[in-house]
């Protein structure tokens, strides 16, 4: 197409029209022959103008075909497991020069995009192997062709973004999986054309023109924290051919200045391989920005920038992928890449549990199970650090709580179930708020010490073999926890084995006392009265009761194990050491019987609800606090496990089960609890149970427990930061980057150390949330700037 000729013809037609218009002002272009000539020419010019911009012709699995000098374009999204700095290392940089500088397409584009909470870094290249070398260092995969296309669309700065289902979504995107009759590349063309039109009106262009001396490292984090919406394109060219051409150009120019020798020497050094060089050209496009970003961007990117108007239209229209102003190319040594390209954002999870803002004020989300081997977590925070706020915010996000209607949209079998073990009524306002919506299936349980009882050997022998073994192990371990809580020795290996064996034999032989209704009149008064009202008599055997809800009364009690063990201790057919073991087991069972609450039928009601709030405050002063908690926990856990197994058999997705447990120090002071929890944590993850222990000090969480907890969350008060970091170093032995992240953690910011890395997350607390989460009567509700959560 001869554009100058077409333009000249169009000008001629326009002149003719103006002349006719002067002669007859009433003439309209739509009513004369111009309607047939001018409009098609106008459309032709418009098509030419549009097609000279970036166009996507074919979308492939890992690339796109576009109208660039090298048609196939590949890309990676530069992100990692942390939001701490992770620079491209010197070895990889040397490899890039060594392996690719003799290839014509040995150049790439390092792109930084910031639009509100949507922040991304990309690297685009036409050389697949070149790009995979960089991707390998950061452990990244090449972008899908569709992802590249939508990323390019976002780089026009005309899209908008929103949060939905704890993920960042873009309002306008090109979907290549739809069944539209129009090819998707046509949709991209239309969107790009409109974007260019808008971008020409509201984007300012800045061009780098030289290296900024004295800047040793890029500061991409500070760049993202700056107040602007825009995109930075950094072109980096390693091609030996173009570097040599650039040096030759400098030699030619230097003949007039008398500095030729410097550049001829440089050419010699480069040709012999003593020095590696590359060409750089950077363009910044700002849609919204503070003036200070213009002066500071150089410090962040090692380059000086000026505002640019010349070729502005061409740069915006074609994008740097198709056009750069080569007059602003400058040459740098390989060292320019040292501490330059870095990840600063954590990868987002596909099925997140929580979300917030990272250190760069960008959107970030996290999944307890997707990003770890197990979903368990611990929150370590001093009083006043915001742990109650954070715990409740985590629960609110997991159940997708609407703070206007109080509807928990993701609560229940289709989403998440909460089992909150609370101490000190920290959840009271939160729970009462959720109760206000009748759609939420919620129960608040507050047992008293006097009414509590738990049958330690109530085992469902109709369950699967694995479940029976697990329940027998739980009962055995609970015996040891009870004994240790009373300063006695736990069951040894031999006693544990005989205890499990005794329980199995008593169940299989039905060799236990036949209890009657009158036996529970004093301990379970309301149940006895209900049975009598149903027509049963005081002497009716509990085993004869027909109603399914009372099946828990048809089991043996701990006293039956004590009797069986004593009989076996006198059995002369057994070896002497086995008789001694039975005797010691009988004594330990008898000691627990004397406590009464573990040797009676169950009286623990764990209502069938999607959100269970269990208040343990009434038990916290008792030496039996830990075993009582475990008893209540087991009742809840068994019901949840049963439903998870049902989902597995029905081949449907089981709900996530989140178990936040306050005041963990009360449990870990009993040594055997650590052994028990290790077993429980390994089993619980099979049923999608997310345990979350909450403690004030790192020392309250034994090292043995932490090896089965992948997510460690820290909140730090400024005045306690040094103390907390010291405790973490002493008790948890974290890697260097975790200490670095802790030291950089701000007030009310979560530092999350998980199996793949460490990052910071800060929740955004709205006023209506503050009023629900606040548990401190000394904090005025209107003051949401200071989130005093304790």
Give DSSP secondary structure letters for 443-506. Answer: EEEE--TTT----TT---TTS-HHHHHHHHHHHHHHHHHHHHHTT-PPP-HHHHHHHHHHHHHH
Per DSSP (E only), the strands in 271-381 are 277-289, 303-307, 330-333, 342-343, 354-357, 363-366, 377-381
Is the pLDDT score of 751 beyond 90?
Answer: yes
In tens, the pLDDT along 15-58 reads 555 555 555 555 554 444 445 555 555 444 444 444 578 999 89
In tens, the pLDDT along 138-191 reads 999 999 999 999 999 999 999 999 999 999 999 998 877 654 556 666 788 888
Give the model's pLDDT for residue 502: 96
DSSP-derived pairing of the beta strands 416-422 and 611-615: parallel
Is the pLDDT score of 694 beyond 50?
Answer: yes
* Exposed e or buried b per residue across 556-595, where buried means at least 16 C-beta atoms within 10 angstroms of its C-beta: bbbbbbbbbbbebbeeeeeeeeebebbebbbebbbebbee
Give the model's pLDDT for residue 4: 54
User: What number of residues does the chain have?
Assistant: 790
Q: How far is it, in rounded angstroms, from Cα 393 to Cα 205?
A: 41
In tens, the pLDDT along 714-748 reads 999 999 999 999 999 988 889 999 999 999 999 99
Q: How many helices (H) and strands (E) does the chain have?
A: 25, 25
Q: How far is it, in rounded angstroms, from Cα 447 to Cα 731?
A: 35
Least confident of 34-43, 382-391, 521-530: 34-43
In tens, the pLDDT along 201-254 reads 899 999 999 999 888 899 999 999 999 999 999 999 999 999 999 999 998 888
Give the model's pLDDT for residue 414: 92
Asked whether the beta carbons of 561 and 592 are under 8 A apart, the reply is no
Look at phi and psi of residue 489 and say left if phi exceeds 0, alpha if psi is from -120 to 50, else beta. Answer: beta
Highest mean pLDDT among 251-255, 341-345, 778-782: 341-345
Q: How far is it, in rounded angstroms, from Cα 505 to Cα 409?
A: 47
Q: How far is it, in rounded angstroms, from Cα 596 to Cα 99?
A: 77
**Rg value, the chain, Cα:** 36
Find, among 336, 305, 311, the residue nearest to 323 by Cα.
311
The whole-model pTM stands at 0.85
Least confident of 1-15, 383-397, 421-435, 668-682: 1-15
Q: How far is it, in rounded angstroms, from Cα 785 to Cα 773?
A: 14
Band of the pLDDT at 774, cuts 50, 70, 90?
confident
Band of the pLDDT at 294, cuts 50, 70, 90?
confident
Look at phi and psi of residue 412 and say left if phi exceeds 0, alpha if psi is from -120 to 50, else beta. Answer: left
Least confident of 2-16, 65-79, 444-458, 469-483: 2-16
Backbone angles phi, psi at 738, to 5 degrees: -70, -40
Chain-centroid distance, C-alpha 430: 24
Question: Which residues are CB-contacts of 241 (< 8 A; sequence separation ≥ 6)?
Answer: 102, 104
Band of the pLDDT at 776, cuts 50, 70, 90?
low
Q: Report CA-CA distances (Å) from 86 to 210, 221, 343, 366.
A: 25, 11, 5, 20
Q: How far is it, in rounded angstroms, from Cα 319 to Cα 174?
A: 19
Per DSSP (E only), the strands in 54-189 are 56-59, 64-66, 72-77, 86-87, 107-115, 118-125, 161-164, 167-170
Give the model's pLDDT for residue 83: 87
CA 704, 493, 496: angle at the middle one, nearest 5?
100
Task: State whether the Cα torsion 143-146-147-148 is positive or negative.
Answer: positive
Is the pLDDT score of 787 beyond 80?
Answer: no
Is the pLDDT score of 119 beyond 60?
Answer: yes
Is the pLDDT score of 431 beyond 70?
Answer: yes
Across 539-558, average pLDDT: 92
Q: How far is it, in rounded angstroms, from Cα 646 to Cα 403?
A: 33
Chain-centroid distance, C-alpha 239: 39
Q: How far is it, in rounded angstroms, from Cα 293 to Cα 232?
A: 12
């Amino acid at each position: 197409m001869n554009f100058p000729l077409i333009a000249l013809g169009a000008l001629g037609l326009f002149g003719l029209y103006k002349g006719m218009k002067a002669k007859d002002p009433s003439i309209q272009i739509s009513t004369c022959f111009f309607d047939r000539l001018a409009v098609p020419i106008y459309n032709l010019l418009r098509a030419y103008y549009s097609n000279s911009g970036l166009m996507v012709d074919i979308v492939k699995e890992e690339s796109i075909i576009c109208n660039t000098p090298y048609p196939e374009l590949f890309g990676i999204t530069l992100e990692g497991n942390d939001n701490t700095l992770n620079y491209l290392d010197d070895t990889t940089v040397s490899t890039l020069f060594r392996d690719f500088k003799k290839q014509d397409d040995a150049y790439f584009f390092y792109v930084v995009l910031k639009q509100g909470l949507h922040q991304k870094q990309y690297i685009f290249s036409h050389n697949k192997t070149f790009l995979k070398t960089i991707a390998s260092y950061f452990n990244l995969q090449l972008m899908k062709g569709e992802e590249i296309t939508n990323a390019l669309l976002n780089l026009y700065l005309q899209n908008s973004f929103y949060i939905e289902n704890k993920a960042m979504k873009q309002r306008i995107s090109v979907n290549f999986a739809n069944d539209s009759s129009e090819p998707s590349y046509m949709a991209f063309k239309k969107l790009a054309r409109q974007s260019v039109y808008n971008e020409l009106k509201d984007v300012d262009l800045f061009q780098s023109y030289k290296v900024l001396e004295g800047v040793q490292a890029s500061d991409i984090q500070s760049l993202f924290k700056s107040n602007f919406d825009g995109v930075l394109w950094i072109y980096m060219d390693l091609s030996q051919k173009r570097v040599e051409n650039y040096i030759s150009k400098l030699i030619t120019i230097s003949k007039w200045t008398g500095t030729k020798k410097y550049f001829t020497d440089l050419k010699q050094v480069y040709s012999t391989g003593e020095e590696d060089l590359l060409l750089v050209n950077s363009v910044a496009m700002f849609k919204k920005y503070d003036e200070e970003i213009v002066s500071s961007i150089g410090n962040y990117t090692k380059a000086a920038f000026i505002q640019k108007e010349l070729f502005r239209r061409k740069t915006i229209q074609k994008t740097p992928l198709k056009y750069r102003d080569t007059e602003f190319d400058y040459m740098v040594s390989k060292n320019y890449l040292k501490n330059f390209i870095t990840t600063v954002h954590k990868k987002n999870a596909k099925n997140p549990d929580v979300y917030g803002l990272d250190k760069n004020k960008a959107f970030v989300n996290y999944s307890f199970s997707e990003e770890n081997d197990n979903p368990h977590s611990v929150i370590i925070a001093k009083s006043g650090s915001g742990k109650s706020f954070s715990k409740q915010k985590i629960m609110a996000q997991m159940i997708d709580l609407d703070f206007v209607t109080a509807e928990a949209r993701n609560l229940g079998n289709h989403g998440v179930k909460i089992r909150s073990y609370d101490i000190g009524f920290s959840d009271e306002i939160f729970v009462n708020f959720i109760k206000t919506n009748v759609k939420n299936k919620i129960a608040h349980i507050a047992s008293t010490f006097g009414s509590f009882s738990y049958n330690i050997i109530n085992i469902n022998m109709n369950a699967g073999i694995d479940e029976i073994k697990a329940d027998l192990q739980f009962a055995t371990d609970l015996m040891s926890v009870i004994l240790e809580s009373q300063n006695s020795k736990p069951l040894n290996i031999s006693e544990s084995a005989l205890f499990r064996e005794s329980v199995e034999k008593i169940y299989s032989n039905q060799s236990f006392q036949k209890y009657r209704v009158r036996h529970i009149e004093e301990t379970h008064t309301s149940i006895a009265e209900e049975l009598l009202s149903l027509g049963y008599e005081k002497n009716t055997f509990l085993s004869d009761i027909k109603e399914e809800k009372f099946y828990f009364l048809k089991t043996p009690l701990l006293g039956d194990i004590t009797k069986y063990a004593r009989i076996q201790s006198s059995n002369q057919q057994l070896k002497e050491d086995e008789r001694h073991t039975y005797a010691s087991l009988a004594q330990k069972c008898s000691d627990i019987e004397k406590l009464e609450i573990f040797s009676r039928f169950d009286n623990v009601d764990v209502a069938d609800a999607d959100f269970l709030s269990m208040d343990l405050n009434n038990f916290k002063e008792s030496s039996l606090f830990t075993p009582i908690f475990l008893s209540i926990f087991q009742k809840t856990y068994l019901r949840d496990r049963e439903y998870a197994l049902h989902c597995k058999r029905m081949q449907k997705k089981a709900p996530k089960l989140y178990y936040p447990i306050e005041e963990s120090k009360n449990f870990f002071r009993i040594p055997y609890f650590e052994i028990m929890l290790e077993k429980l944590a390994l089993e619980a993850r099979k049923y999608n149970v997310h345990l979350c222990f909450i403690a004030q000090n790192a020392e309250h969480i034994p090292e043995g427990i932490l090896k089965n907890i992948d997510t460690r969350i820290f909140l730090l008060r400024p005045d306690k930061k040094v103390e907390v970091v010291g405790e973490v170093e002493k008790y948890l032995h974290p890697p260097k980057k975790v200490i670095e992240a802790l030291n950089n953690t701000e007030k009310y910011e979560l530092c999350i150390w998980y199996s793949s890395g460490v990052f910071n997350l800060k929740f955004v607390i709205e006023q209506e949330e503050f009023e629900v989460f606040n548990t401190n009567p000394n904090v005025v509700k209107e003051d949401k700037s200071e989130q005093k959560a304790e």
